[in-house]
Chain A
Amino acid sequence: AQSVTQLGSHVSVSEGALVLLRCNYSSSVPPYLFWYVQYPNQGLQLLLKYTTGATLVKGINGFEAEFKKSETSFHLTKPSAHMSDAAEYFCAVSYSGGYQKVTFGTGTKLQVIP
């Protein structure tokens, strides 16, 4: 079985400060990992994903995430927060084969303080 844990349902940062959103996964097979962003009353949009190869993954809007197998983590970072980054962020995991099923974390709401 696969699962995802996002630490912190709410995170507040000042504009211009580092953004760090935490995600840990549990999977018995090599995982594929995703970060999605959701703005209020909208669907989800992919920020970035890790499949294989380079463990540091760069995504849209200046976000990046690093896959650390030893820590079973895939934390999302951005060096400098912008007001437009205020949204809810979801980490998700899937794996090769199976039923194309994707398991999502419970989400982290990011507040950016001017």
Chain B
Amino acid sequence: DGGITQSPKYLFRKEGQNVTLSCEQNLNHDAMYWYRQDPGQGLRLIYYSQIVNDFQKGDIAEGYSVSREKKESFPLTVTSAQKNPTAFYLCASKSAGESTDTQYFGPGTRLTVL
């Protein structure tokens, strides 16, 4: 079955540590996205990538970094510079052909900083 996988589902981190969230898709999509979800704030865009080896900052990129070395993979690193990293993180992908195309979402990773 085609889809998006995120791992792990739950992640605990100590303050001052970097942590990497995995996102893999087998939908052959060019565009991939990372969102952060906090209660009452909806989804806020962290980074997005339209093609391999290229990515752009979203609205809240500070304290995060990404890479896009393969079409299928778009890992997100939450660095120690991110002041309030506890949140639910969602990865999504879509065909880069048209803005009308649907975004497909992974099941999410819940990150808690202890």
Contacts and interface: CB of A to CB of B under 8 A. Distances in A.
Interface stretch (A14-22, A39-47, A75-83): A39-47
B99 A104 contact: no
A49 B40 CA distance: 23
Interface string B23-42: 00000000101010000111
Interface string B82-99: 000000101010101001
Contact of A100 (B4, B43, B99): B99
Interface residues of A, number: 27
B3 to A, nearest CB: 10
Contact of B110 (A41, A94, A100): A41
Contact of A42 (B48, B96, B107): B107
Majority DSSP secondary structure for residues of B touching A: strand
A97 B90 CA distance: 24
A46 B102 contact: yes
27 contacts: A32-B99, A32-B100, A41-B88, A41-B107, A42-B108, A43-B4, A43-B90, A43-B107, A43-B108, A44-B90, A44-B92, A44-B103, A44-B105, A49-B100, A51-B100, A99-B48, A99-B50, A100-B31, A101-B45, A101-B48, A102-B45, A102-B103, A103-B45, A104-B43, A105-B42, A106-B40, A106-B42
